[in-house]
Amino acid sequence: MNKPLRRIAIFCGLLVLALLIRTNWLQYVEAEELSTHAKNRRVQIEQYAQERGNIIVEGQPITGSIVTNGSDFKYKRTYKDGPMWAPVTGYASQAFGANQIEALEDGILTGNDDRLFFDRTVGMFTGEKKQGGNVVTTLNAAAQEAAFKGLGDKKGAVAAIDPQTGAILALASTPSYDPSSFAGNSKTDEKNWVALKDGKDKALVNRALRETYPPGSTFKVVTAAAALEHGKVTDINAPTDTPDPYILPNTRTEMVNHASGCENASLMQAMKVSCNSVFAKLGDDVTRDKMVETVEKFGFNDPKIDTPVRAFASVYDTQMDRPGNALSSIGQFNTAATPLQMAMVTAAIANDGKLMKPYMVDQLTAPNLDVLEKHEPEEMNRPLSQENAQKIQQMMETVVESGTGTKAKIDGVTVGGKTGTAQHGENNSKNPYAWFISYAKTGDGSPVAVAVVVEDGAAVRDDISGGGLAAPIAKAVMKAVIDSKK
């Protein structure tokens, strides 16, 4: 072979070798990345080529699928009572992707999960079309409806938990949105999406999990737990040696009380009428580091609370000075909490000091309803002893019986609660957030703990606003859970 031909042959051989290397690189090394790439339309077409499995509440689907006309995406998602359930389901959109349960359990819902491999293989031989599995939630339909209707046209959120298991029973957020309104990929879907995404009401935000607020006086139950756990208080009916006015440490600033009778008030009385001075002094007595130790046992400062949807971390400042710690001990300054976090606090107290990990997916099932995975309740922590938890229960029950939370009373049921009004805005210029946390107790223990926050209520600046605006919502949710168990 002459020299020019040999060079051409070698060059062609190198081209073939490069082609083989590239082909194998694409097929084996980059296969996973390419198959899941957001711009790979074939993946999206396949994702919507069959009906998605459903998200289930109490045996009934709250989702569905319908045929899409004029699109290469065959099916699109539908939602039953979409705005009510959106904080639970999230959305699945042909054009804008998915979030929350729709995204986290996409493999099950589309039928692509490895645990459904046998079903897919059998279908190849039987001719049955591919089907998605189902996500069975822990939600209580009556409680969710009570929470959503209770919030009405107000901005706010509700989280309700079964203290004994950690199962989430209600998760409401308002204003909400209908995931069906942008589930397709038409111009109308795009218009609806843009309006929601750019809207000032932040309707796409799940306020129950992914918005933090100053918890105000509801945080006083945490400060009470810290004071009891670290031995600063042993008798909840004994005077606390608190002056009125109480001066914040290292300052000349008076702590303002919105209640009377706070001087030397016992912990029981201070909780009943919500004395700022008593709890600010207790927080200082406990010290910042010991306060941090207690609050973190309740779940604060934890960035990995998954329900399976990840909640924003609730915050208690670990570096603040003494006056900052005193203010934080009444739920102000840098303290911030999600409604889920305050429901967890309440659930731990109602469950005699045992905090269960919150979750809202009970089971994952195959299309034939075989159980692929079942959640088992899991203890998360023990923030306080049984004895101290029961002392706080006594105080919270007094709040409802004859204190600031009387609007949460339920006939024939023991209810414990705590009101809160959290100031915010520059110089506290904006309407305060109205809070209420509570639990109900029956002969079989406590079946429900609730946290409610209302953002935009025209609240009076005292704890009664939490009792007036948020407590009736909590009452309706608790009663719905109790009635559903009869």
> Is 180 considered catalytic here?
no
Query: Helix axis angle, 339-350 relative to 386-402, nearest 10°?
Result: 110
**How many whole angstroms separate alpha carbon 107 and alpha carbon 98?**
12
Amino acid at 45: I
Shortest CA distance to 357 belongs to which of 161, 74, 199?
Answer: 161
The 3-state DSSP composition of the chain as helix, strand, coil percent (nearest 5) reads 40, 20, 40
**How many whole angstroms separate alpha carbon 21 and alpha carbon 285?**
70
Shortest CA distance to 136 belongs to which of 88, 206, 92, 66?
Answer: 88
Cα dihedral angle (84, 90, 93, 97), rounded to 10 degrees?
Answer: 160
**E-strand spans in 267-352?**
305-306, 310-311
CB 447, CB 386: distance < 8 Å: no
Write out 108-133 in H/E/C secondary structure: HHHCCCHHHHHHHHHHHHHCCCCCCC
| Cβ within 8 Å of residue 265, ≥6 positions away | 239, 240, 242, 273, 275, 278
The one catalytic residue in 176, 180, 217, 314 is 217
CB 380, CB 165: distance < 8 Å: no
Catalytic residues: 217
